[in-house]
Chains A and B, each alone.
Chain A
Amino acid sequence: MKEFMFLVRGYHKLTEEESQQSMQKYVTWMQGMMDKGLYKGGQPLTQDEGRLVKNPSEVLTDGPFMEAKEVIGGYVIINANNYEEAVEHAKACPLLDHCALEVRELKAMD
């Protein structure tokens, strides 16, 4: 079993009702992943600000550095055997309703 990260790309301001609905869908999806022992963790990121530290003397404060549809809004880590499986899980993830998911394998360092 390998670990994969969904990088949540894109940002969409939700209404109260939308956010309640998507929360319920997300909780259901997450519960399903937990029941299969595949859920590892995840956190959202703030959208309004960011810093890019290029080197000790160069820090960019203009955030969030990319076009809105590209911004990383958070991450989720899951278990899967390979990219195919990981992508299938991503397809079922309700975060997809409002964002794109970049699926990347976490590297096990030698």
Chain B
Amino acid sequence: MQPANTSKVNELVDHLFRRESGKMVAVLTRLFGVHNLELAEDVVQDTLHQALSDWQKSGIPNNPEGWLMVVARRKAINLLRRERYTQNFADDIDPFLKSEWTLSYTIDNVFLETEIKDSQLRMIFTCCHPELSHESQLALTLKTLCGFSIKEIANALLTTESTINKRLYRAKEKIRKGDIRFEVPLGNELLRRLDAVYLTIYLLFNEGYNSSTDDLLIRKDLCSEAMRLTLLLTEKPLDAYPKTHALLALMCFHAARFDSRIDDKGCIIILEEQDRSLWNKELIGKGIDYLTKSAHGEHLSSFHLEASIALQHCMAKSFKETNWKQIYTFYDKLYEIKPSPVIQLNKAIIAGRVYGPEEAIIELHRLEKDKNLVNYYLLPASLGEFYLQVNNKERAKTYFEKAKKLTQSKAELELLERKLKS
């Protein structure tokens, strides 16, 4: 035991709780049944409260993770005993939990390391179930798997706490009604469902990486949580899917540049001006490993291409030395797989690097007609940028002003402001 120290306890607890609570909720949901998800969350909350008060009194135990699991386990057993004549628990093990002949034995099994991972996988597939809206999936994932508070989720997703509460309520209502099972799907179903999981994790990461939330800590947490969940997907029995590795590689390459993108004041530093020596080489190395692992099978996914594009940036010694031609071919292929106007926009920007700003300006003007991009700030912002490059300051100004109206992000606004002055 270390001596009690309130601020130290709080600091440790913040981090530890976020990491461990998702694990505990998953395990307890495995026991109580997914219809009792809230009960599982209550027991975990209760465990965390007890940890906080005990640790403040008598110090942090040597193995706080183990402490939490032991207490959660005890609280779960108490609850199972108290409720066994009035409640139904997880379908497949309910009778085992209701008989004292088999109760401890069953619980011991569920608390095994491999089973804890399995429960977390089940939880991922439950939170990312296609029956739920994307918004609900994100909120539910952050709440149950990542241990975010309602306030933190609202901050992260740029909305109000009451909106988040509504989304969670709707999602849990669906789960309670039994439309969504707590399991890892099999066979063909698995492939379809994995795509839904990838999408949610990808959104989660993007929320952290690109979003307009000013809270930098929350944004970093979103990214690292997205990576942690993807890492879970690389373990048995799901370790055979190249797309998972491609997604992880993509996230490593982006995360490697996280710190160099934002200065001390929270202002955006554009790629061209980033200090490349700050890029995290270890993460880039990991990303390369994952990308290598992802290179099998016949299916080239958008993650493969996005990761390859990000790698080109990571490998370039300077902005000027970037292999724009190679990047342009990747975008070309990406557009074949995912013909979205945003990718077309990116292609136009890269065209500007390969063939000169005039080319980009023509392409970007063409995209102005696309309804999907009407409110997308990056289109006028890019036009402004390329007009600057051809020294047409007046037009550049018009487009930067236009872009300013389309974003609420402080950092983005500040960047446009700087451009307007240049």
Binding site for B on A (CB under 8 A): 23, 26-27, 30, 34, 39, 41-44, 74, 76
Contact = CB atoms under 8 A, between A and B. Distances in A.
B96 interface: yes
B102 A26 contact: yes
Given A23-B105, A27-B105, A43 B95 contact: no
B105 A42 contact: no
Interface residues of B, number: 9
A75 B95 CA distance: 14
Nearest to B108: A23
Contacts of A42: 99, 101
B262 to A, nearest CB: 55
Interface in B94-117: 95-96, 98-102, 105-106
Given A42-B99, A74-B101, 14 more contacts: A23-B105, A26-B101, A26-B102, A27-B96, A27-B102, A30-B95, A30-B96, A30-B102, A34-B95, A42-B101, A43-B99, A43-B101, A44-B100, A44-B101
A27 B106 CA distance: 9
Chain A at the B interface: SS class: strand
Nearest to B85: A41
A56 to B, nearest CB: 28
Contacts of B99: 30, 41-43
20 contacts: A23-B102, A23-B105, A26-B101, A26-B102, A27-B96, A27-B102, A30-B95, A30-B101, A34-B95, A39-B95, A41-B95, A41-B98, A41-B99, A42-B99, A43-B99, A43-B100, A43-B101, A44-B100, A74-B101, A76-B101
Contacts of A41: 95, 98-99
A16 to B, nearest CB: 13
A44 B100 CA distance: 6
A30 B106 CA distance: 12
A79 B65 CA distance: 43
B346 to A, nearest CB: 55
Nearest to A39: B95
Interface string B58-101: 00000000000000000000000000000000000001101111
Contacts of B106: 27
Contacts of B100: 43-44
Contacts of B105: 23, 27
Contacts of A26: 101-102
A74 B101 CA distance: 9
A108 B96 CA distance: 26
B312 to A, nearest CB: 54
Nearest to A24: B105
A74 B99 CA distance: 11
Contacts of A23: 102, 105
Contacts of B98: 41
Contacts of B102: 23, 26-27, 30
